[in-house]
Chains A and B, each alone.
Chain A
Amino acid sequence: MSEALRRVMCVEDDADIRMILEFSLGTVGGYEVRCCPGGRAALEQAPEFKPDLVLLDVMMPDLSGPETLAALRELPSMRGVPVVFMTAKAMPDELEQLLEHGATGLIVKPFDPMTLPQDIRPYWEHGRGPRFG
């Protein structure tokens, strides 16, 4: 893990949400952001981009969030990198089930684009921040 949170990879199939993630984390937060439209693209780009943290959508058409997380964990460069699910599902039992896949935490959509840059920091700083940030 690098000394500061600099590079954030976002994996999200919705183009509008990718757009607001880039705005939030790049323009507002000042991070270097790489947005991927699906799990396969993330698996291809993660070794080169070397993210400090990954925000991962749960419902995606090519690979689901849990499938992508499992595959990311197989990449040597991604072991130990915090991966945070983003989901619009709001039922507590569904959220608990998602965490059982081994994610570092969860961000519930819709998120506030102005506070998201701060909201993700605990997941990077402590490995496991607020569970339902």
Chain B
Amino acid sequence: MAPGSADASDPAAGQSPAVQAAFARLRSQFLAGLPQRWAEIVSTPAGLSRAAALHRLTGAAGGFGLTALSNAARQAEVTGGTAETLLAVRREIEAAGVTVP
């Protein structure tokens, strides 16, 4: 498990070393893009666009084994992105070892 990703499971566990390495590379790319996703979420006025951004984060984070972040994003989406639920998303991004502005 990558440092700082205390909430992450590893879907590639038990796979061949090559598959594990490929998955780790993809997850690193995804994590590197999280600050941009967060900036998009908080800079978009509450409404359909913000909900869509949270919706995409729900699907993507879960696919990379970041279940807590996926769940937080879904909660933020369904509640319309309240301050409390957005803070939970931010906390989960940081729990994955990613610094956001």
**A110 and B62 contact, CB distance less than 8 A:** yes
Is A109 an interface residue when CB atoms closer than 8 A count as contact? yes
Q: Which residues on the A side are within 8 Å of B64 (C-beta)?
A: 16, 20
Q: A19-B29, A59-B55, A88-B74 are in contact. Are A14 and B23 (CB under 8 A)?
A: no
A78-102 near B? 1/0 per residue, CB < 8 Å: 0000000010101000000000000
**A110 and B22 contact, CB distance less than 8 A:** no
A61 to B19: give the CA distance in the assembly, Å.
32
**B62 and A109 contact, CB distance less than 8 A:** yes
Which chain B residues numbered 14 to 50 have a C-beta less than 8 Å away from chain A?
15, 19, 22-23, 26, 29-30, 33
Quote the shortest CB–CB distance from B12 to chain A (angstroms): 7
- Out of B26, B33, B52, name the residue touching A23 (CB < 8 Å): B26
Is B11 an interface residue when CB atoms closer than 8 A count as contact? yes
Count of interface residues, chain A, beta-carbon cutoff 8 Å: 20
Is A112 an interface residue when CB atoms closer than 8 A count as contact? yes
Quote the shortest CB–CB distance from B5 to chain A (angstroms): 16
Q: Which residues on the B side are within 8 Å of A90 (C-beta)?
A: 74
**B15 and A20 contact, CB distance less than 8 A:** no
A53 to B15: give the CA distance in the assembly, Å.
25
- Out of B29, B60, B70, name the residue touching A14 (CB < 8 Å): B60
Q: A19-B26, A23-B26, A88-B74 are in contact. Are A109 and B63 (CB under 8 A)?
A: yes
**B33 and A16 contact, CB distance less than 8 A:** yes
**A20 and B74 contact, CB distance less than 8 A:** no
Q: A16-B30, A17-B56 are in contact. Are A114 and B63 (CB under 8 A)?
A: no
Quote the shortest CB–CB distance from B79 to chain A (angstroms): 14
A109 to B61: give the CA distance in the assembly, Å.
10
**B12 and A109 contact, CB distance less than 8 A:** no
Q: Which residues on the A side are within 8 Å of B29 (C-beta)?
A: 16, 19
A28 to B67: give the CA distance in the assembly, Å.
21
State the A residues within 8 Å of B (CB): 13-14, 16-17, 19-20, 23, 27-28, 59, 61, 86, 88, 90, 109-114
A-B contact pairs, 5 of them (CB 8 A): A16-B29, A20-B26, A20-B60, A20-B63, A110-B62
